[in-house]
Amino acid sequence: MQDRVTATDLQAPRRIRAYLAATSGRPVLLLAGSEEAAERYASDARSFTDETVVHLPSRGVPYGDVFAPPVGRVGERQRALHALSGARILVAGPAAFAEKTPLYDPLKLQEGTEIELDDCLSRLVALGYERVDRVSRHGEFAVRGGIVDVFPSTRRSPVRVEWWGDEVESVRAVSLATQRVVRELEGASIFAAREGDLAALAAASDEDYGEEARMGVRTPGLDRLLLDLDPVSPGDLLPEGMEVWSEEPVEGPSEDAEVVGELYDWERPAPDTRFVSTADDEEGAAEVVSAPPVVAHSTTLRESSRRLEAFVEEGLRVFIACGSVGEAKRTAYAFGEIGRTVRDVERVDAALPPGLYAVPGEVAESFSYPDGGVAVVRRDALLGRRKTRAQKTKSPSVSSFADLKAGDLVVHSTQGIGRFGGLVSRIVLGATRDYMQVDYRGGDTLYVPYEQMELLHKYVGGEGTRLDKLGGGTWAAVTDKVRRRVKALAGELLRVQAARAAARGFAFPEDSEWERELEESFPYQETPDQAAAIAAVKADMQAARPMDRLVCGDVGFGKTEVAVRAAFKAALAGKQVLVLAPTTILVQQHAKTFRERLGRFAVRVESLSRFSTTAERKQTLKDLQSGEVDILIGTHALLGAEVRPKDLGLVVVDEEQRFGVKHKERLKEFKASVDLLTLTATPIPRTMQMGLAALRDISVIETPPTGRRSILTHVGPEEDELVKRAIEKEVRRSGQVFFVHNRVDSLEEVAEKLGDLVPGVSFVTAHGQMTERQLEDSMRRFLDREADVLVTTTIVESGLDVATANTLIVDRADMMGLSQLYQLRGRIGRSAAQAYAYLFAPVGATPESQKRLEALMDFTELGSGFAVAMRDLEIRGAGNLLGAEQSGQIAAVGFEMYLRLLEEAVALAKGQPVEEEEPQPVIVELGLDAYLPVDYVRDEIERVDLYRRASGVRSTAELDDLAEELNERFGEPPEPALNLLGLSRVKLLARRVGATSVNFRSGALNVTGATAGAAAPALVRRATGGTVGGREGRVTLRGSSLPPLELAEETLRALDKAA
């Protein structure tokens, strides 16, 4: 091996290159041909050596572009540059090695580090971190007293650092979702979150970069200012004696005019080893490394093991590459169950004796290397085709008050809909408390104390809702009406379910070899959600009752593949399939997909739309009736009387809510006899999924497909030159562009202006005032690549999946609603290509609106703005799922109240006891200051949320947990905050004895709603030193020297014990 790697030219397949570098015994710089290859080699190398492997990533965007590099990329690059000197293997792509970067020393914090808090905050700002009230994204930090939460650019979760004087007392990891500490850390290295403060550099520069640049807007070529920060080239940091192994680069300098060439050094070091292909090695001078791929997969583990044993018999050590240590151990156990010995070891090691081994660490491709005595096999290649690791996604959810602000509508369980006026402090009976001010119609105001905040939730459910009158009867009447409607709905759904369960349908056979072949031919990796949906659909089809399953998932998340598998299963059983889509465009898209997937299996797929000629239509219907057509795809016209399948087995409906009432009634007739699969791209609320799980079969696909990249976003004023460059850049890579201008009257004018701006590029327009046929024609032209740019209003159809459209330009994005922007954002980034979003807003737009736009458009770190838009869409989804009438009911009482009534109705319809959602309110008045001081919890939204949680605790364990969280997040609670927790404890104890009120006045404690038992007086006297009096339903205690809070707690515990 030593002789081999010293050869200048090496002809070795890509699958073995990382292994050769990792086992060379010398420090190696592996210059990959592309950024993608570099990532792969670095990942592979970590499985082959326990020494340091460093992957140097590219910043991700060319210097000079208007897009900022993602914060995570900046941090990873800084960390890699600092680690170069100690690297055993360094892997870099062409751009990554060429980019010059301003280098910053990381801030290292651990227990005992001496640094003043203010100095630390200054360092964080200098490293590009932004101060916020609560950290939610990389590159942010929050300060509360002597506690700093920071989300480092290189970590998956924030860290919490606590000070004692001028010394760091602790460093702990924090959960992003709960903001709670999850584990202690030895320390944290905080790397830079940006390459430089371009706004400050622009302001200090002698050159005029424009007002926008000084306000923080990235303009073309602005990165040139980084040259003032002495950027370093990776080549200057390489340690002495590091060998250079090089591939031929397939990526080079960008041709874009705005690229800052001085920030690149494209000269690569002379290679010690050069990888060449057979074509390059015409003279046969290169040394050849033989490393053929390993094909070991089979239908059984026993058969796979026999194939692997054949390699062992040839004297090879065979390593099964697993995703984790646990998977390696499970693999060894599985082989042991069939009598094969597999040892789990730490890494691939040619010094081990020949045999079978399981190692943690995945490789991109299996290979055997006879000269090196090893073979490496991907574990998932043993029993089927290759799997790629699924991309994890955070499921967005909104807590009721996470985004509540003054002016928002709220719902009070008994008083109805009012407007939140903010938190107000009031002194009542000598005690200071915080109240939620809720304003009602007619100028009435309700002050809700914290202990009753559980009765409030944010109103979400529609525009133009009217406020209720405080103390009026309208709210109770509306709630009763909605309760009756929901009860009727639940009853109807249950009746349909019972009828389906009793009906006899066709039980499809289990999967055949052909179905497995279809699965093998799927070019992508199924996400876990998608695989679960496919399995559920197949299980339904194999049952003897008719299927009625709803599959929800965003466009491009793989719903169509679920339908393809179901349709193929039906066709193989000799049954026919109808696929209904709401528009001609979607019919064409589905027809194309079905033909591509099923064409090689002798399944006849036909489509009917207005683009079909009369003769074609007539022939297709005739063939359908005779049984020659297996799958027919069309619009609602398929529900007509002239469509008569010979033996219908499955109906697939895409976006059912977009069909008319008449068509829906026809679909209901199908439900009784054939399997029905419904697809929708509108999200269904998770809370509602749970409520309806007993009433309807629902599968939800929430995981985005692997390989999706985050969308790069630019927010700034519109510039013709920037628009021109954006369109030309996308068209140059054979892509397409969405240009959104939300005014119909000037849309054509904008399209003409764009045509003059970018000659040679074709445009098509689309807006809601076109006839359906005109709109479909425009969309079809765009889909068929007859136009490069679609100039449109926000009507861009939610069902469209245009993988080639990866640039979105939005004119006056600041004027659009969050839901609209979310929908638009979803139109791009649907393939592995990098997607770009240009959100144009005037310089006058507030920084808050810019932040909101950036957070919304960030694909990987969805901000709270997304969550709000998501809730808007969920309401629409709920309405679609339950019918138009129910949308009105949701608007009448608000989303959360509707869900509560729905769960109650479902339980009643099924004969189950209804859980009391809200326990009996308890009023506690002990004359204590009980609130969260503003200087303890500064953010009002945060305080409201904490009040509501304190109000809603159901157990002492929950309360202790909240107390611990306050201590962790905000420091030692002051006395008013401790009193607040104490009042919550009193409320819990009061509920246990049935009390409705506890108050302390004139030296006496009064407990209303509870009666003292025979043993109570003695127990209370022993606990408090006081004397018990009272009557039925009331207990009074006098003469105790205990403080009011302690007195209330001890008295209630004694009453509970006596009960």
Least-confidence region, from 36-40, 75-79, 558-562, 914-918: 914-918
Dihedral pair phi/psi, residue 1034, rounded to 5°: -155, 135
What structural domains and CATH numbers belong to the chain?
A: 2-102+219-288 (3.40.50.11180), 107-190 (3.30.2060.10), 301-381 (3.40.50.11140), 503-683 (3.40.50.300), 712-872 (3.40.50.300), 923-1058 (3.90.1150.50)
Q: What is the pLDDT of residue 809?
A: 93
Task: Decide: 180 and 174 in contact? Cβ < 8 Å.
Answer: yes
In this predicted model, what pLDDT tens digit does every residue of 569-590 receive, in sequence order? Answer: 999 999 999 999 988 878 888 9
Least-confidence region, from 340-354, 537-551, 783-797, 895-909: 895-909
| Neighbour order of strands in the sheet with 1034-1038 | 923-925, 997-1001, 1004-1008, 1034-1038, 1027-1031
Q: What is the average pLDDT value for the chain, to the nearest integer?
A: 83
Residue 18: pLDDT band (50, 70, 90) is very high
Q: Assign residue 889 a region: left if phi > 0, alpha if psi is -120 to 50, beta otherwise?
A: alpha
CA 629 distance to own-chain centroid: 40
Least-confidence region, from 266-270, 276-280, 627-631, 868-872: 868-872
Mean pLDDT of 525-544: 88
Task: Decide: 1047 and 1032 in contact? Cβ < 8 Å.
Answer: no
Q: What is the pLDDT of residue 922?
A: 83
Mean pLDDT of 77-91: 94
Task: Decide: 46 and 361 in contact? Cβ < 8 Å.
Answer: yes
In this predicted model, what pLDDT tens digit does every residue of 373-426 receive, in sequence order? Answer: 999 998 877 764 444 443 433 333 334 454 567 788 888 888 888 998 888 888
441-445, long-range: CB < 8 A, 24+ apart: 441/466, 441/467, 441/468, 441/469, 441/470, 442/469, 442/470, 444/469, 444/470, 444/471, 445/421, 445/470
In this predicted model, what pLDDT tens digit does every residue of 675-702 receive, in sequence order? Answer: 989 888 766 655 555 555 656 678 888 7
DSSP 198-234: HHHHHHH-SS---HHHHTT---TTGGGGGGGG--B-G
CA 356 distance to own-chain centroid: 39
Q: What is the pLDDT of residue 918?
A: 57
- Burial class of residue 791 in the structure, from the number of CB atoms within 10 Å of its CB (0-12 exposed, 13-18 middle, 19+ buried): buried
Length of the chain: 1059
Mean pLDDT of 501-528: 83
Mean pLDDT of 1008-1021: 84
What span, in angstroms and rounded, lies between the C-alpha atoms of 143 and 125? Answer: 13
Q: What is the pLDDT of residue 396?
A: 35
DSSP 336-393: HHTT--EEE-SS--TTSPSEEEEEES--SS-EEEGGGTEEEEEGGGTTSS---PPPP-
Q: What is the pLDDT of residue 863?
A: 38
What span, in angstroms and rounded, lies between the C-alpha atoms of 877 and 15? Answer: 46
What span, in angstroms and rounded, lies between the C-alpha atoms of 345 and 335? Answer: 15
CA 222 distance to own-chain centroid: 32
> Is 50 exceeded by the pLDDT of residue 203?
yes
CA angle 326, 700, 915 (to 5 degrees): 95
> Is 90 exceeded by the pLDDT of residue 925?
no
In this predicted model, what pLDDT tens digit does every residue of 760-805 receive, in sequence order? Answer: 999 999 887 888 788 888 888 898 899 999 998 877 655 567 888 9
Closest CA to 665 of 639, 643, 646: 639
Dihedral pair phi/psi, residue 114, rounded to 5°: -95, 110
Mean pLDDT of 930-944: 83
Residues ≥6 apart with Cβ < 8 Å to 197: 128
Closest CA to 810 of 787, 828, 798: 828
Looking at per-residue pLDDT, the higher value among 400 and 199 belongs to 199
pTM of the predicted protein model: 0.70
**CB count in 10 Å sphere of residue 686:** 14
- Burial class of residue 403 in the structure, from the number of CB atoms within 10 Å of its CB (0-12 exposed, 13-18 middle, 19+ buried): middle
> Is 70 exceeded by the pLDDT of residue 848?
no
What stretches of 471-555 adopt beta strand conformation (E)?
548-553
Residue 248: pLDDT band (50, 70, 90) is confident
Residue 949: pLDDT band (50, 70, 90) is confident
Task: Decide: 629 and 648 in contact? Cβ < 8 Å.
Answer: no
Closest CA to 652 of 768, 571, 735, 736: 571
> Is 70 exceeded by the pLDDT of residue 320?
yes
